[in-house]
Structure 1
Amino acid sequence: MTIKTTSPSAGSLRTEGPVGSPDEVENDDYRYLDIGLPQEIERLKQTGRIAAAREACLKLLEEVAEPQLRACLRAESHRMGRTARQFCVTRDRALELIRAEWPEFSSRQLDDLIERKRIDYRLVEGEVRFLDNFLDSLRVYPAEVPGLLPDSPSDTAARDSMLKRMRDAGGASRIITVKAKISVPGKRVGETVRAWLPIPARAPQQSQIEILSMTEGGVVAREDAPARTVFWESTEIDTFEVAYRYRIDAPYVDATAPAPSSHVVDAPSPCGADLAEIRPHALFTPYLKALTDSLVHRIERPFDRARVIYDYLTGHVDYRYQPDYAQLDAIADNCAKSLRGDCGVMALTFVTMCRIAGVPARWQSGLYVSSDYIGPHDWAMFYTEEYGWLWADVSFGSSSRRSGDEARRLHHFGNLDPWRMVSNSEFQAEFEPPSDGVRWDPFDNQMGEATVDGRGCDEVEMLREVELIEMIEA
């Protein structure tokens, strides 16, 4: 069995770092995006005058001393420097790409898809630009774009059979072997490449972790690292690989039945951090507090509070591909308002609303590893006294609602499946050792990151692959 996923924009193109003192920006600066830009700079940004907005950020940095505003300005300038490279498809090019598959597609139909929030866009120097993978977002809704080629079908029969067996047997387990790779093809002679590839971490559902092989010189982080990786540093090579094996257990809980007599999994009890805000994306904003209160204000049992939050999100939020999370603002609040998001956006919104409701909740992310697909995925955990720690996969619940599969939607409140790899247990966790450049995604890590001479690599500068070697029932 060999199933492989390659990062979508990978290649040997070398880009210059964002203009304007790129060495001064740090990953931690992204924690202060909630400070917000001054109105005059925000207006420049929102109207697509990116170069002018970045110049204004750099000018203001010469005038202000307050450290949090300075951090926000540095992060904003840095991420605006990446905007044009991510939102690179013009309107004319978008129509050309769609019409290559659907010749009758009209300009008005494109406007309609934008109005219905099926396509994300930004204004770049006054011009509407779409993400380079905007077609993938459209294929999620085949009934609305019947002229496009359908998305690659997944093996739903195998998935449904596995979930049924899991429910009948009270759970399921797998032993999974995976190979991951990262390279920086544009590395120049003498430059120092540092690379971090995610590997399995100790988690309530994950154990028996083995590193089977890796490129010489790799340094493996501790098993309970919140963003576990294997790390390399080299001036000689630009490609790094690791192969690992682990056991994943997926216990099953019938969320409609009485609570079990003992906790489902043996995991550390919740702590204060499991009820706290996370700057800048999991803040208890006035809107999120009002929305959460409207859902749970008459519900006493924490388990039922988590359930009504899950029901609301899976019933109202639709899937849409996102740019890298560094380009997003106030993730949980915006998801609740726009009712759009990907797996991580939905998971973080669930975590935030649970915490507002007094239900401890945590983030998990890594890979979804099925018989016909392997790739990045995010989900959540929540805690109640009766059950202990359970799981919620909001994006899978949302897709189940769209396809009319209520049994699968119900399954993913309380349960996952044995097709997972957990590498991250905290949102925005730092690497061990820390990255010496600004990461492509400072908030999550599923496919790996690299720096060259202290400059963080953009996605197009990294070739990243993950491959399923073997999966057997345990």
Structure 2
Amino acid sequence: MRDNELYFMRLEVPKELSDLIKRGLLSEAEELLKELIKGAEGDYRRRLEFELDRLRRWAIQYPYTELEAYEIASKKIRDLSREEFRELISSGCVDHITLDGDLRIYKRFLPNIMWLCPSLKDRSLEREDEGRVRAKEALSKRAREVMESRAEPLIFKFRAELILRALPKGERLRAWLPVPRVSALHPEVKIFSSSSEPYVSDEMHPQRTAYFELTASGSDDTVWIEYEVVSVPRRPMEEISDDLRELDGKPEAKHEEERIPHITFSEDLKHLVSSLTEGLDTLERARRIWDWVVENVRYTYVHDYALFDNISEFAFTKRRGDCGFQAILLITMLRLAGIPARWQSGWYANPIEWGMHDWAQFYIEPLGWVYADPSFGHPTEDWRKEFYFSGIEGFRLSFNSEICYPFDPPKESFRSDPVDSQVGEAEWDGGNIYYDMMDSKLHLLEVGRADIKWK
């Protein structure tokens, strides 16, 4: 089995096709792709089929006309005129593309406006959500407890659900729900209930899942799984027990290599890493790279990962991206500096407010694998930059240790997210079941102190 969902991205498509897609002429691109696929075979055919699959996603990711987006924004930003909104589009503050000649606005353009053009924050009509304020307070409190060695491991109980919207009755459905991996972060994982008996991949599978097969009812169908997981915090630069270190394993050659298409060593990136790290020891090289990423790459939402050809290059050249983009760029730069680095992702499991999240690990002796969370490490609060360089608070749920890794069993159709695995995937004989045909939920059932030593 190939170990990379996007192995075929090493192959280039014809320039005529890539130009049509870049210009947003998707109808013409679709016609050309269908012709090209007729004569294509093997990996190249798979590459073209992926391009065809991606085309329909653009309209879902960019659903608004200029007027629709303006009407949304004018209710959230004080005294916003139509002319000013057009200027925001022209200046790059509003994420947009052209689809078959029509301007279309990104579905999450509104929060991105505030990050890309922070001067607008003073005119925001939205007050910070009370739950989010309490969640930030809980995180700060937890981080202090970890730093002061007063934080115990936590045990979480979750219920994950995948709701598949009505598909033809009698059709075979296949679904995958992420399951926590066993690691130093999660030394204990237990599945205790599910909608039916799933096949669960190995406890250390790089993208661990529970796999379900079912028959479509003709109305909405739901698969679910309940599990409990121990989550272990770690102080920055703290030595941990041999038992925990063993769960994380040793670095391999792949942890210093490229991983096409998203971890690639461009000449410009090589030059930057060299200029930052020349003559330094391993820890100082890692710290200089960490400082550069958290100080230079701002947080923004991004569209569907499947629509990007090279995530590390986008984050590097555009100096922006979400948690996953920042983690992938950090991993790429660490590997360029000769420091083993890898992916870790799942959910940020703050008991007050939880959500999908990605971060990284890097390897350094004598500590072994340590954590690095660049999007949480931005210096918005004094403690963050130092704490998240090798530390972690234990509000975590980790399913993955690699990007673009096939499930067990692998999906037959293209994945909705071929890079990461956080909410679940599904397919039927008609192909992939994309996000517009399913819903996912993660319920926190219980959280408490875990009876386990972590020093």
- Per the normalisation by structure 2, the TM-score is 0.90
Query: In the alignment, which residue of structure 1 is the partner of 2:388?
Result: 412
Distance (Å, rounded) in 1 between the aligned partners of 2:386 and 2:78: 40
Query: In the alignment, which residue of structure 2 is the partner of 1:31?
Result: 7
One-letter identity of the residue aligned with 2:259: I
- 1:272 paired with 2:253, answer yes
Query: In the alignment, which residue of structure 2 is the partner of 1:247?
Result: 230
One-letter identity of the residue aligned with 2:253: G
Query: Secondary structure of the residue that 2:64 maps to in structure 1?
Result: strand
Distance (Å, rounded) in 1 between the aligned partners of 2:194 and 2:290: 40
Query: Secondary structure of the residue that 2:345 maps to in structure 1?
Result: strand
Within a 5 Å distance, the mapping from 1:9-408 to structure 2 comes to: 30-64=6-40, 67-102=42-77, 104-114=79-89, 117-138=92-113, 143-145=119-121, 146-152=123-129, 153-155=132-134, 156-169=136-149, 172-237=152-217, 238-254=221-237, 265-266=245-246, 267-299=248-280, 301-398=281-378, 401=379, 403=380, 405-408=381-384
Q: Compute the displacement of 1:140 (Å).
A: 5.1
CA deviations on 1:388-447 (whole Å, 9 max, x unpaired) are 11000011113xx2x3x1311211111121100111111011111111222110111101
Q: Compute the displacement of 1:245 (Å).
A: 0.4
CA deviations on 1:350-400 (whole Å, 9 max, x unpaired) are 1111111100001011111102112211000000123211000011113xx
One-letter identity of the residue aligned with 2:313: D
Query: Secondary structure of the residue that 2:74 maps to in structure 1?
Result: helix
Q: Compute the displacement of 1:275 (Å).
A: 0.7
Distance (Å, rounded) in 1 between the aligned partners of 2:251 and 2:119: 43
Query: Secondary structure of the residue that 2:402 maps to in structure 1?
Result: coil
Query: Secondary structure of the residue that 2:383 maps to in structure 1?
Result: helix
Residue 101 to residue 357, structure 1, CA distance change in 2 (3 Å): same
Q: Compute the displacement of 1:63 (Å).
A: 4.3
Distance (Å, rounded) in 2 between the aligned partners of 1:391 and 1:140: 26
One-letter identity of the residue aligned with 1:149: E
CA contact (8 A) 2:188 2:229 kept: yes
Distance (Å, rounded) in 2 between the aligned partners of 1:32 and 1:107: 44
Query: In the alignment, which residue of structure 2 is the partner of 1:22?
Result: none
Query: In the alignment, which residue of structure 2 is the partner of 1:9?
Result: none
CA contact (8 A) 1:140 1:151 kept: no
Alignment: residue pair count? 439
Q: Compute the displacement of 1:190 (Å).
A: 0.8
Bigger drift between 80-89 and 363-372 goes to 80-89
Residue 473 to residue 29, structure 1, CA distance change in 2 (3 Å): closer
Q: Compute the displacement of 1:265 (Å).
A: 3.5
Query: In the alignment, which residue of structure 2 is the partner of 1:470?
Result: 446
Distance (Å, rounded) in 1 between the aligned partners of 2:239 and 2:207: 31
Distance (Å, rounded) in 1 between the aligned partners of 2:171 and 2:91: 46
One-letter identity of the residue aligned with 2:271: A
Residue 122 to residue 370, structure 1, CA distance change in 2 (3 Å): same
Bigger drift between 414-423 and 144-153 goes to 144-153
Distance (Å, rounded) in 2 between the aligned partners of 1:298 and 1:91: 51
Bigger drift between 457-466 and 111-120 goes to 111-120
Distance (Å, rounded) in 2 between the aligned partners of 1:353 and 1:385: 19
CA deviations on 1:134-178 (whole Å, 9 max, x unpaired) are 223335576524234145333222211111111001754111111
Residue 206 to residue 336, structure 1, CA distance change in 2 (3 Å): same
Distance (Å, rounded) in 1 between the aligned partners of 2:6 and 2:205: 21
Where relative contact order (Cα < 8 A, 6+ residues apart) is larger, the structure is 1
CA contact (8 A) 1:29 1:71 kept: no
> Structure 1 regions of 5+ residues with no counterpart?
1-25
CA deviations on 1:224-262 (whole Å, 9 max, x unpaired) are 1111111111115521111110101112125xxxx8598
CA contact (8 A) 2:50 2:414 kept: no
Distance (Å, rounded) in 2 between the aligned partners of 1:115 and 1:317: 21
One-letter identity of the residue aligned with 1:124: L
Residue 111 to residue 290, structure 1, CA distance change in 2 (3 Å): farther
CA deviations on 1:312-363 (whole Å, 9 max, x unpaired) are 0100111111112101121001100100100111111111111111000010
Bigger drift between 144-153 and 350-359 goes to 144-153
CA contact (8 A) 2:5 2:405 kept: no
Query: In the alignment, which residue of structure 2 is the partner of 1:14?
Result: none
CA deviations on 1:211-234 (whole Å, 9 max, x unpaired) are 121012322222111111111111
Q: Compute the displacement of 1:272 (Å).
A: 0.5
Distance (Å, rounded) in 1 between the aligned partners of 2:430 and 2:299: 35
CA contact (8 A) 2:175 2:424 kept: yes
Distance (Å, rounded) in 2 between the aligned partners of 1:261 and 1:130: 48
- Per the normalisation by structure 1, the TM-score is 0.87
Residue 165 to residue 118, structure 1, CA distance change in 2 (3 Å): farther
Residue 201 to residue 105, structure 1, CA distance change in 2 (3 Å): same
CA contact (8 A) 2:236 2:392 kept: no
CA deviations on 1:264-317 (whole Å, 9 max, x unpaired) are 844311110111111111111122212211211232x11111111111010011
CA contact (8 A) 2:361 2:371 kept: yes
Q: Compute the displacement of 1:74 (Å).
A: 2.0
Query: Secondary structure of the residue that 2:233 maps to in structure 1?
Result: strand
Q: Percent same amino acid at aligned positions? A: 30
Distance (Å, rounded) in 2 between the aligned partners of 1:407 and 1:226: 31
Query: Secondary structure of the residue that 1:323 maps to in structure 2?
Result: coil
Distance (Å, rounded) in 2 between the aligned partners of 1:120 and 1:150: 23
Distance (Å, rounded) in 1 between the aligned partners of 2:90 and 2:393: 35
One-letter identity of the residue aligned with 2:234: P
